[in-house]
Amino acid sequence: MGSISNLSQVIFKMSSGDLASEINLKPEAWRILTQVNGGRTLAEIAKNVGMDEATAVNLADTLFKAHILEVAPGSVQPASESVDAKFFNNITRELAKAMGPLASVIVEDEIAALGEALENFPRDRLADLVERVSESIKDNTKRLNFQRLMLEAIRKL
Amino acid sequence: MATLIKQELTATWSGVRLIRLNEQVGTLLNEIDHVPNVLSACVCDNRGKLLGALVNGAWDAGEFNLAGVAIAQCFAAFQSKTECRDLEFRFEKKWLYARELGNAFVVVFYPPEMNLALLRMTLNVAAATFAADPELQKHLTQVAASKRDTLAHTFLDILGAQLVEQGNLLK
């Protein structure tokens, strides 16, 4: 679970915003929430409630993604999940089928334009990248087909 | 897991028409359901009438219909001046994205944390089949011919009617 590799060192606080919809919490999640105070790391919370760190990390990840928790000021930031470099071979191969041999250059250029690097490209920016490289495909049908394939690939990650 | 609300049998939508509509709307909304953070979504005809919805928890067809008419009017207003395929609205913590589907449109409601690029790409792929179904598009036109109809006085209050007139939106 790349996105939460450092989550045990993150300090959370309760979200200050309203929740977008109704949510249901498991008892284990409640145990975590009762300990969140904007000062303890998740590892400390796990120890306090007698829970193994991996379980606490998974629960906190869910609560964080549901916007129940947010990162406290001064805490280390959760690392963003990066994409396996093999995925870019797939993008480049499919792009080359649609628009020709410059595909690899375009993929590299667009990664750089997003201010990212291939080695640790964040997963949540993949759709941005695909959308940008799609612009180089002039044929509408080919562009749509490329996006369809990439969408399926992103979902499988 | 969101719930899919389908079009019910009516005088307008019945038989093969209804089956085709529900198939296409269902396919489209199920694709949207794969996008993380989507709160709800709906498909409306040219006059903003609800044709199907994807909901989480309680829902109100009246609210979707109200939003549908307002968005149909926005499409009609913009399209009277320029090409307009997508609309994005932001109201505090609930944002929405609307996409043209020929003689219908889809509206997706989401929080600010949405991966918009992923939503746009999903809509590109999912909307293509819907918009390219000639039979369905023909039925939709018969039900509600044009989004411009929503700029008629019967759909507007006094201020709205004045704005439509001042903007020459029906010329």
Chain B contact set for A128 (CB, 8 A): 117
**Domain definitions of chain A by residue range:** 2-71, 86-156
Chain B contact set for A147 (CB, 8 A): 121, 124-125
Chain B contact set for A127 (CB, 8 A): 115, 117-118, 120-121
Contact B125 A144 (CB under 8 A): yes
A54-66 average pLDDT score: 85
Q: Which fold has domain A2-71?
A: Arc Repressor Mutant, subunit A (1.10.10)
Query: Over 80: is that where the pLDDT of A3 sits?
Result: no
Q: How far is CA B98 from CA A88, B29, B102, B116, in A?
A: 31, 13, 12, 12
For residue B153, count CB atoms less than 10 angstroms from its CB and return exposed for 0-12, middle for 13-18, buried for 19 or more. Answer: exposed
Query: Over 90: is that where the pLDDT of A138 sits?
Result: yes
Write the residue in A20, A22, A147 that is nearest to B111 by C-beta.
A20
- Write the class of the CATH domain B3-166: alpha beta
pTM of the model: 0.77
- Tell me how crowded residue B23 is: count the other CB atoms within 10 A of its CB: 14
Best B1, B59, B121, B125 residue to mutate vs chain A (most A CBs within 10 Å): B121
B 40-59 residues with CB < 8 A to A: 56-57
B150-168 average pLDDT score: 86
Query: Over 60: is that where the pLDDT of A4 sits?
Result: no
- Return the pLDDT at A1: 39
